[in-house]
Structure 1
Amino acid sequence: MKHLFMVAVAAASLILPASAEEPAPIPSPGEIAAAAPASDWVAMAPSDLLVMDLAPDARGKPRRVVIQLMPAPFSQGWIGNIRKLAAAHWWDGTSVNRVQDNYVAQWGDATEKKPLPKGLATVPEGDYVTQTRGTGGQKRSVTSDGRPLVMNWSGWSPGWSWADQVDAYSTKRSFFRGWSFASTDGKTGWPVHCYGMVGVGRNMSPDTGSGAELYTVIGHAPRHLDRNIAVVGRVISGVEHLSSLPRGTGALGFYEDAGERVAITSIRVATELPTADQPRFEYLSTESDSFARYVDARQNRRDPFFITPAGGADICNIPVPVRPVAVK
């Protein structure tokens, strides 16, 4: 019996290592981004960052919001105006004057009487949509089984990646130089209203806004605004200082009492600040294999918490990863 027992133990010892092996855990989208090599991250130019300092909160803590302006060729008429407004320090002393629940936080001159700097452009409505002069797409596979994850756009400029899912507002979803866009034909594109995106307030058409009145999305993505209002940037840091503000009780969330408004101390292009005070950020390249895997993971959550992969994702549920960089 003792001999048979020893044989059984020996046999079990041969089996245990194989049965003890567990499949490698499937990484979450955040883990994929965190594991991306340094070469997959792209530095944001300080000249493309707006730094908005609000008055300190009730406990005296500073409130800084950093906005990245959109790259050319999109919305450049409005962005040119925004750069002029920032250079003129026009927003200093204005305020956040509207906070509408599940919609937007808006800032500018609540009196609408502050003179604007000279030389601001009047931007036509046609600039809500930009010609990309695309001619077609080419699939790129990055998985071991050759499964296509995104579509590389081979149109007017390198850098387009078209995702393979259709949403309710467009027939194509795209990423370009770290930004989300939409299209119906692949030859024109427009930026989309996702959480944290910054747009230009305007009056009734044909007015398109100068860029002096801005807002950021603080709720569910209002995609119905796409192609109806200019999108000029996105909040990459400090959105909580806007999204957590008390909701306005007036129509559309405007503050009825001037005392409710949150004062803006200053808005500057980062390059106007001392070097040590300039924020530094980088984004995960939307042309990288790491981003392709990230998109796939956002569309098909297979990490341990999830039971049933959705098989798709709204483009606003595929935020491009952004991270701060320590200033050396």
Structure 2
Amino acid sequence: MMLIPLLLALAAAPEKPAKPTAGQIAEAAPASSWGAIAAEDLLVMDFADGQRVVIWLAPDFAPVHVANIRKIARSGFWSTATIYRVQDNYVTQWGGGEDKAPPAGIVVQPPAEYEWVPKAAVRNPYKDAYAAVTGFTASGWAVAGDGKRQWLPHCYGAVGVARDLAPSVGTGADLYTVIGHAPRHLDRNIAVVGRVIDGMGALSARPRGTGGGLGLYEDPKQFIPIKRIAIASDLPAAEQPRFQYFKPSAKEFPKILEARANRGPPFFDVPSGAADLCNLPVPVRKVP
């Protein structure tokens, strides 16, 4: 007999007001809260099936590797590049040309650009499982550190330089992106040189490989050819993609972090009060 009154009481209970999402907060912010990403810092990958991937390069943190990547893109070395490895919940890897001489002018043995003296960063108020100190640089990058050193974390979409065993650090001729749960054990062991900011599905939704337990494509016929890899500033103006990042210095940025950490009604009822650094990506948007 008590069920009907209870249902009536629940039906009459006012709904909790919807809480703005991080995306809504970012889009409502003034134009001054957004900064332009330089075309020189965008690596564009076009596939024969019409899909495009755009990678935001990080020259402030891996200057030698990024300089190599620009030279490799401009040299034509990647004219036969393919995706040759897709390991489920781990990485998609591309490049190729181990039998080819490296492009002229690149640094064949770059320094290990895995960590550096900390650069100024907006503090992340939420504890990270892998690093004692985390935050966001003025240029829009999430960074991890221990107070003495700082590094870019291997979050979903992070782009790293494939390498052989140490002392090899890789040249940048072969790259990978994280397509699964953030493998933070790779932090400070491999150079992170950028972040996929558009077209992630063209890398994460490819058929999985089975070779060597590493997701390698065993049959060369499985290799996925890449039609073109170019620096955006080298493309005709009409073809250049344009993107902006949300400035961590903007007054709305703490609200964005809070909204990601404590998502609200109507779906979420209980705030978490915590957020992994990799769940706090700096917003990026495409400019028409």
TM-score by length of 2: 0.91
1:45 aligns with 2:38: yes
Corresponding residue for 1:105?
Answer: 92
Q: Is the 8 A contact 1:165 1:172 kept in 2?
A: no
SS in 2 for 1:47: helix
1:24-63 map, 5 Å:
25-56=18-49, 62-63=50-51
1:286-305 map, 5 Å:
286-305=248-267
Q: Is the 8 A contact 2:90 2:178 kept in 1?
A: yes
1:162-181 map, 5 Å:
162-176=123-137, 177-181=139-143
1:200 maps to a residue whose letter is V
Corresponding residue for 1:147?
Answer: none
How much does 1:167 deviate?
1.6
SS in 2 for 1:295: helix
Corresponding residue for 1:311?
Answer: 273
How much does 1:108 deviate?
0.9
SS in 2 for 1:234: strand
Counterpart pick for 2:154 among 193, 201, 210: 193
Corresponding residue for 1:161?
Answer: 122
* Aligned pairs, number: 272
CA–CA separation in structure 2 for the residues paired with 1:23 and 1:242: 39
1:95 maps to a residue whose letter is T
1:184 aligns with 2:171: no
Gap change, CA 1:39 and 1:303, over 3 Å in 2: farther
Structure 1: state its 5+ residue gaps. Answer: 1-20, 57-61, 133-155
How big is the alpha-carbon RMSD for the aligned residues of Structure 1 and Structure 2?
1.6
CA–CA separation in structure 1 for the residues paired with 2:262 and 2:135: 18
Gap change, CA 1:31 and 1:93, over 3 Å in 2: same
Corresponding residue for 2:286?
Answer: 324
Corresponding residue for 1:114?
Answer: 100
Corresponding residue for 2:185?
Answer: 224
SS in 2 for 1:293: helix
Counterpart pick for 1:130 among 97, 101, 116: 116
How much does 1:23 deviate?
7.7
CA–CA separation in structure 2 for the residues paired with 1:256 and 1:46: 36
Q: Where has structure 1 moved over 6 Å in runs of 4 or more?
A: none
**Structure 1 residues 263-319: Cα deviation after superposition (integer angstroms, max 9, x where no partner):** 011111011110000001111111111111101111122342111111110010011
Corresponding residue for 1:275?
Answer: 237
Corresponding residue for 2:52?
Answer: 64
Corresponding residue for 2:165?
Answer: 204
1:88-103 map, 5 Å:
88-103=75-90
Corresponding residue for 1:18?
Answer: none
1:255-274 map, 5 Å:
255-274=217-236
Counterpart pick for 1:83 among 53, 70, 75: 70
SS in 1 for 2:77: coil
1:302 maps to a residue whose letter is G
How much does 1:34 deviate?
1.9
SS in 1 for 2:159: strand
CA–CA separation in structure 2 for the residues paired with 1:274 and 1:86: 16
Q: Is the 8 A contact 1:28 1:303 kept in 2?
A: no
Q: Is the 8 A contact 1:50 1:268 kept in 2?
A: yes
Corresponding residue for 2:7?
Answer: none
Q: Is the 8 A contact 1:103 1:218 kept in 2?
A: yes
2:200 maps to a residue whose letter is V
2:130 maps to a residue whose letter is Y
Counterpart pick for 1:248 among 209, 214, 223: 209
SS in 2 for 1:131: coil
Look at both structures and tell me which one has the larger radius of gyration over its CA atoms: 1
Corresponding residue for 1:153?
Answer: none
How much does 1:124 deviate?
2.5
Q: Is the 8 A contact 2:162 2:176 kept in 1?
A: yes
